[in-house]
Amino acid sequence: MSTFYALLRNPQGALGLLIVTILLIVAIFGPVIAPNDPESFNFGSRFAAPSMEFPFGTDWYGRDLFSRILIGARSTVLLAILATVIGTGLGAIIGVLSGYLGGWADEVIMRLTDAIMAIPSLLFALMILAALGSSALNAVLAIGIAFAPGMARIARSVTLQVRALDYVAAAQARGEKLGWIVLAEILPNTIAPVIIEATIRVAFAIMTLATLSFLGLGAQPPSPEWGLMIAEARDHLFRSPWPVIAPGIAIALVAIGFNLLGDGLRDVLNPKTAD
Amino acid sequence: MTSPFNRRGFLKATAAGATLATMPGLVQMAQAQNIQPGGTLRLALNITPSVLNPMLSRLNSEYLLGELLYSGLTVLAPDMSAQPDLATEWSANEDATEWRFTLRENAVFSNGQPVTSADVAASFAKLLDPATAAPGSRNLGPISEVVADGDFAVIIRTASPYADLPVALTYPTAKILPASIVEGDFDSLMQTPVGSGPFRMAEYRPDDVAIVERNPDYFIEGQPYLDRVEVKSFPDAAGAAAAMLAGEVDILTEIQPTDYARIADSDGVTGLRSPSGRFLDVVMDCTVEPFNNPKVREALSYCVDREAMVELVAEGYGTPGNDSPVNSAYRYNDDAPLKSYDPERAKTLLAEAGYPDGIEIELIASTRPGYRSAMAVVLREMARPGGFDISVQTMDHPSYLDQVWKKGKFYVGFYNMQPTEGTIFNLLFTSGANWNETRWNNAEFDQLVLEADQTTDEATRADLYAQAQKLMRDEVPALVPCFFDLLGAQADYVENYVQNPRGANYALHTVALAADAPTR
């Protein structure tokens, strides 16, 4: 709880928290709030500018952009969080294990992750999608896997400090198994930096997911996924800018929100800057 | 029956920004007197030509180069009739199985040799040789033999009567090459063109530009009017459009429907628009569930608001389709009333077919061109009240060609206009079609198309093709919701450029630049 109040006192953290909270509410309740069916056409009002009836305007089929953004929040944001959770979980376990084992095993695991990190994460995700086929869930999986090596590096470096501490030595002396020491002793104590990193990564995940959908490899039309909305709207940019602007601003806001929250958490959770 | 030629002329004249200069025929003749020879025309393509051998070309951009550098026996006019190219006149025997083509005596290849009947015979032997693997070799008709009849005439015999032979010979790969090269170093044509076309290759930089210069020995007196044509390649449609707006090119042969109004409305640019038989269709495999039941196919055909489809998918630059690949751009369109949008009737038909709760199905659409997936999304929305729950799956183009095209059971196809009704039916819908993707295999339809191919009498053919179109509308092997107009643009000072609805002919040897064209 004290972390929470500290976060509220931190201007960046408070703003980030606000944006992310609103976003999560939209993601969860969006379909209830949305005034229109996101897929139904309105032949009479194609390319409408923002108005009372259509707060964000309409697209080339006359679909209500406001409703599409609200409903698209779920597929965009929740999927991005899911991708980050996969990447973080996978990366943290690999990193902690590698750091704790040390020596020969550490060398092998870290050189492997170095090799993977040499490939840009978008390219790596594209490679995975080429193998799995394109769908929204495969895109989430691809981003998760692509994120894992970076997380593993961070988790490992924290583990290197933690493993030298007495309670680890005590666990070893008690004769605990490897799995217990890694998951129950070390992992919880490396969690703060990992969470901060993960929060910032969510923003990257949203952008990567949007990029993949933009390239036609993630969500499928007519899904209101934000990246896909921009990709489809590009052809109509010169007739009406709203179908590009609305999801573009949404993506930017979310990315900023998660980045601010991550920065806030970093300040709050860091013992040196907390007070 | 309305005449397609008048309709085309009318639509052109009413098209946004179109001036009289785009109307073929009359105006062209009137202008012929005061034409200004000379000048350089710059033309933009967004698909780069890579195959220089005219017999092996597959893309519109390659057809364009082939047409500049080579000649065929006949050439396709904008009204889909065959006009003289190397052949000046032709005639057939009574049952259209033996044709005699008279050749020009003043045509010369760029290597100095005259074009003779021996070259024609050798070229057709090469074209029809399966080892050449020339695209479109099956579109030339049932040719069994091509023999020389003196130095400047050839006899072409067909295995069965074939009234459309002169039109079929306009196929872009059917170019006449020197016999010495055809029988010798055929592969050299990939680097060094040797043809009798209106222009000669001056410079070729792959992925960048192809520059051709006037052929002084061209067989039509006074033509070509232009000194040079520069064919520039751009990586995408947006780049080509930007170059047009910046005045860096004089002609755009293709424009996306979403970009057309913006380009046609800009200063100094005239939009070009011709109704064409180019179409998107929704292919249904008639041999597998649920499309082996004709009622399901019929139900889906009532789920299409065809006029709205033209508006939403072709941005209004198109004509509604009636589930046959033939529209008013062809000679024998039956002009039947459009099928209505009737989701209630679709529901009833689905229930009769054994699907009272509707059908869930996945529709696959390639990402190129972009309006494929647009049509899929629009169809999904239109078919929802009719009991069809369609989910759209997009796919990149190479994967689509590899995994889905001609194999899938429900996908969006895209085809160019063909010069004749027979060609398009035999390409896609008869049992023996090269690309029989619907596997409809309707013997009655095959018979109608075959009879029409073999008949020379116009009224009988019109009737046979009308019956064939009706059969397609009733049985719906594929949905044909809309046809796309050919969209292009030219600078105002370009004269005599006429769009050919087939989309593969350009006739640049008749194009000229007006006196007010910028000199370069």
The C-alpha atoms of residue B498 and residue B23 are separated, in whole angstroms, by 8
pLDDT of the residue at B281 = 94
- Residue B33: pLDDT band (50, 70, 90) is low
Residue % of chain B over a pLDDT of 70:
93
First to last CA, chain A: 16
Could you tell me which residues are beta bridge partners of residue A268?
none
DSSP state of A186: I
Check A41 against B256: CB less than 8 A apart.
no
Residues of A in contact with B261 (CB under 8 A): 239
**DSSP 3-state helix, strand, coil percentages of chain B (rounded to 5)?**
35, 25, 45
The C-alpha atoms of residue B178 and residue A259 are separated, in whole angstroms, by 69
Check B258 against A221: CB less than 8 A apart.
no
Check A220 against B311: CB less than 8 A apart.
no
- Residue A30: pLDDT band (50, 70, 90) is confident
Question: Which residue among B312, B380, B394 sits closest to A216, beta carbon to beta carbon?
Answer: B394
pLDDT of the residue at B16 = 35
pLDDT of the residue at A8 = 87
CATH 3.40.190.10 domain position(s) in chain B: 21-47+194-272+487-514
pLDDT of the residue at B11 = 40
**Which residues of A touch chain B, with CB atoms under 8 Å apart?**
39-41, 43, 60-61, 134, 216, 220-222, 235-236, 238-239
Taking residues B27-31, report their average pLDDT.
47
Counting every residue written for chain A, the total comes to: 275
Question: Which residue among A216, A220, A222 sits closest to B396, beta carbon to beta carbon?
Answer: A216
pLDDT of the residue at A58 = 93
In this model, does residue B3 exceed pLDDT 70?
A: no
Q: Which of B284, B310, B308, B295 is nearest to B387 (CA)?
A: B295
CATH 3.10.105.10 domain position(s) in chain B: 7-13+275-484
The C-alpha atoms of residue B200 and residue B513 are separated, in whole angstroms, by 19
Half-sphere exposure of B99 (CA within 13 A, CB side): 27
Which token pair is B143? 């040719």
Best to test chain A binding among B305, B312, B372, B377 (most A CBs inside 10 Å): B377
ipTM field: 0.79
Instruction: Please report, as a single letter, which amino acid is at residue B81.
Output: S
Which chain A residue has its CA at the smallest distance from B263's CA? A238
**Which residues of B touch chain A, with CB atoms under 8 Å apart?**
256, 258-259, 261-262, 308, 311-312, 367, 370, 373, 376-378, 380-381, 391-396
Q: Which residues contact B249 (CB under 8 A, 6 or more apart)?
A: B42, B43, B44, B232, B240, B243
Residue A62 C-alpha, separation from nearest chain B C-alpha, in angstroms: 10
Sign of CA dihedral B103, B104, B106, B111: negative
The C-alpha atoms of residue A176 and residue A215 are separated, in whole angstroms, by 49
Residues of A in contact with B242 (CB under 8 A): none
Instruction: Answer whether CATH 1.10.540.10 is correct for domain A11-32+55-269.
Output: no
Question: Which residue among B261, B262, B394 sits closest to A221, beta carbon to beta carbon?
Answer: B394
Residues of B in contact with A39 (CB under 8 A): 380-381
- Residue A268: pLDDT band (50, 70, 90) is confident
pLDDT of the residue at B311 = 92
Residue B393 C-alpha, separation from nearest chain A C-alpha, in angstroms: 6
In this model, does residue A221 exceed pLDDT 50?
A: yes
Instruction: Please report, as a single letter, which amino acid is at residue A161.
Output: Q
Per-residue pLDDT of B206-260, as tens digits, reads 889 999 999 999 999 889 999 999 999 987 788 888 999 999 999 999 888 888 9
- Residue A272: pLDDT band (50, 70, 90) is low
Confirm if A77 and A84 have CB atoms less than 8 A apart. Answer: no
- Residue A273: pLDDT band (50, 70, 90) is low
Residue A232 C-alpha, separation from nearest chain B C-alpha, in angstroms: 9
Residue B178 C-alpha, separation from nearest chain A C-alpha, in angstroms: 46
Which chain B residue has its CA at the smallest distance from A60's CA? B312
CATH 3.90.76.10 domain position(s) in chain B: 71-187
CATH of region B71-187: 3.90.76.10
Instruction: Please report, as a single letter, which amino acid is at residue B251.
Output: I
In this model, does residue B115 exceed pLDDT 50?
A: yes
pLDDT of the residue at B34 = 75
pTM of this structure: 0.80
Fold of the domain spanning B21-47+194-272+487-514 = D-Maltodextrin-Binding Protein; domain 2 (3.40.190)
Residue A171 C-alpha, separation from nearest chain B C-alpha, in angstroms: 53
Check B381 against A41: CB less than 8 A apart.
yes
Confirm if A64 and A71 have CB atoms less than 8 A apart. Answer: no
Q: Which of B496, B514, B510 is nearest to B39 (CA)?
A: B514
CATH of region B7-13+275-484: 3.10.105.10
Check B380 against A222: CB less than 8 A apart.
yes
Residue B115 C-alpha, separation from nearest chain A C-alpha, in angstroms: 48
